Structure 1
Amino acid sequence: MKTISCMNIDENLLRSFGAEDKTFKKKETIFNEGDHAMYYFQITKGKVKLNNYNEDGKEFIHNVLGKNQSFGDALLFLNQYYPMNAVSLDNSEILRLPRSQFMEMLRQNPDLSLEMNACFSQEIFYKLKMVQSMASQNPIQRLTGLLNYLKSYHGNDCAHSFPIEFTRQQLASLVGLRVETVIRALKKMEKEGSIVFKDRKILY
């Protein structure tokens, strides 16, 4: 299935509406859960992790995003608070555009709104597919649903080209399985050819 790499707006266009270049060090927080949504963020270098922590301090990772990808944009339309944290995984460079200028950019460039709607629709589609997979008792089906969802953000249909940025324990937490079950399922998926292991990384 063809996917759309959400969302990559021309950097010159962003800067023409007042976007500023921000640098974040490794492990530095970009925003916290509960902060008011004030900016459109687009990564020009590095990686960003979106996460939460439960009451026991256990981390839940929503996604890991890289160069040319955006985050936090959907909440700008709701005028809401961030339901997650954004943390820089590497030394990262990010374009940050204030909400008012972001809205003005969309008003002057309506085609961007159409592209953004397509991205939001894609995200909802893959989230629903992932939720459907989570209802399965089959560990491989659960993992496949999760991997498809993660890969959908990167617009890459090639097999074994997408690196999974999660540990086995994190994958287990995301799909609600024991880590031993996930390890066995991944080995079976490797035998079936749906994933490959390279330098201890999973390629999907």
Structure 2
Amino acid sequence: MKDTLFFLEKTELFKNLTIDEIKKSLKDLNAKKQTFQKNNLVYELGKPIDKIGLVISGNANVIKEDFWGNRTILTQLKPGNIFGEVMNFQKNKNPNINVEISKESEILFFDFKKIFDSREILESYNKKLILNMFSIVTKKSILLTEKIEHITKKSVREKIFSYLSTCAFKYESNSFKIEFNRQELADYLSVERTALSRELSKMQEENLILFKNNKFTLIKKD
């Protein structure tokens, strides 16, 4: 538990909270830790989401499915990331999203809404957690806007260029490692994996990019 507390102290959600405040908040918010294996689903599609999750270790993807089972990756979760916060506060709690574990993971679940209980609202950690949550939701909104920009491009190549360009600016380099494997990237950009692989190969042949596995280098022509 001690290691978990020191880890949480470095996360965005618990930023500026003392260890004692984190311990108290976890107790008050009924926090519970659970381990998931690769390919496990954290939520059951169509079922209410009544807890917020925070990734302690491992990786996961937030996935949206349509009526026919077509999947789109909305975002990738790393240690320190939270999920389920928006759906937790919505009146309609039967979303068509899921969180799929891509690497054995430990998830900390807690009832964030309890922070608004009359007793908890007076606690010293309360305002800090609310401000931190607001910051996280704002940043997620920006990331969602970026994704919309990528997937609304007309061609597969334009979608790839849009995504890789964003990565280059993010890492401030023309060489970087992306967060997705090929299937995950295809799901994220809403394209077929074969079409994605074919277009990446063409772009490399045309000396527009270089790549090996998930490491990419963008080439700017003179």
Same fold (TM over 0.5): yes
Deviation at 1:111, TM superposition (A): 2.8
Closer, same or farther: CA 42–54 of 1 in aligned 2, 3 Å: same
Match for residue 178 of structure 2?
163
Match for residue 94 of structure 1?
107
Alignment: residue pair count: 191
* Equivalent of 1:15 in 26, 47, 51: 26
| 8 Å CA contact 1:50, 1:86 repeated in 2 | yes
Q: Give aligned-pair identity as a percent.
A: 16
- Between the two structures, name the one with larger relative contact order (CA 8 Å, sep ≥ 6): 1
- Unaligned runs of at least 5 residues, structure 1: 1-5
Can you list the C-alpha shifts for 1:45-76, whole angstroms capped at 9, x where unaligned?
Answer: 11112224444443332222121111111222
Aligned AA (1:126): L
Deviation at 1:158, TM superposition (A): 5.0
* Pair 1:38 & 2:43 matched: no
What is the alpha-carbon distance in structure 2 between the residues aligned to residue 62 and residue 177 of structure 1? 13
What is the alpha-carbon distance in structure 2 between the residues aligned to residue 106 and residue 119 of structure 1? 20
Q: Which has the larger radius of gyration?
A: 2
Q: Report 1:111-190 matches (<5 A).
A: 111-137=128-154, 139-146=156-163, 157-159=171-173, 160-167=175-182, 169-177=183-191, 179=193, 181-187=195-201, 188=203
Match for residue 3 of structure 1?
none
Aligned AA (1:157): Y
- Unaligned runs of at least 5 residues, structure 2: 1-10, 218-222
Match for residue 4 of structure 2?
none
CA RMSD of aligned residues (A): 3.5
Deviation at 1:22, TM superposition (A): 1.0
Greater CA drift, 23-32 or 79-88? 79-88
Closer, same or farther: CA 99–112 of 1 in aligned 2, 3 Å: closer
TM-score scaled by structure 2? 0.66
What is the alpha-carbon distance in structure 2 between the residues aligned to residue 171 and residue 162 of structure 1? 12
Deviation at 1:97, TM superposition (A): 0.5
TM-score scaled by structure 1? 0.71
